[in-house]
Copies of this chain bind each other. A is one copy, B any other.
C-alpha cells in the first residue's frame, strides 16, 4: 500500500506529478504571448464566469489585489478582457472576455482537456463521476461554493451571480 507512518505518500506524489504536467501544456502556449500562469488563471475564470467582479476574482484565486493588478491590466491592454461598469453598483467592474480572450482561453484549455480525456479513456461515466467527486472532496469544504462548475445550479450559458 506504500503507506509509511500512516502517511499516504503515493497519492501525495502522484498529485504533484499530475499537476506539474497538467500545467505544462498551457505554459508553452502562454510563452508565445509573453504571459504566465497568472494570466491563464485570470483568463480562465473571466471566461468561465463572465461578468464576475474584481473582488469575486480575487476571492476565487486567493491572491491580493496588487498581484492581480498587473496581470489583469495586461489582459485588458492586449484586448483579451474588457471591464464594464456594474449595472447595479457603478463602483464594480464586471469582467468579460473578448472574442480574442475566449479564443485564447479555449486554446489553453484544449490540451488540458485532451489530457483528461486520455486519462479517462477506458473509464465509464461512473468512474468519471468518481474522479470528479474525489477532486471536489479535496477542496476545502467552506470553499466548495466557488465551484458552480457543471453542477445542477448552472444549466444555461450564464452563471448565476449577476
Contact = CB atoms under 8 A, between A and B. Distances in A.
A143 B120 CA distance: 18
Interface stretch (A70-78, A87-95, A104-112): A104-112
A96 B10 CA distance: 19
Contact of A48 (B9, B118, B121): B9
Interface string A53-64: 000000000100
Given A17-B143, A17-B147, A150-B2, A135 B12 contact: no
A41 interface: yes
A154 B13 CA distance: 15
Copies in the complex: 2
A61 to B, nearest CB: 9
Interface string A118-152: 11110100010011101111111001001101100
Contacts of A48: 9, 13
Nearest to A137: B119
Interface of A: 1-2, 5-22, 24, 41, 44, 48, 62, 106, 109-110, 112-113, 115-121, 123, 127, 130-132, 134-140, 143, 146-147, 149-150, 154
The 5 A-B residue pairs whose C-beta atoms are closest, nearest first, are: A2-B150, A119-B137, A10-B150, A18-B138, A14-B135
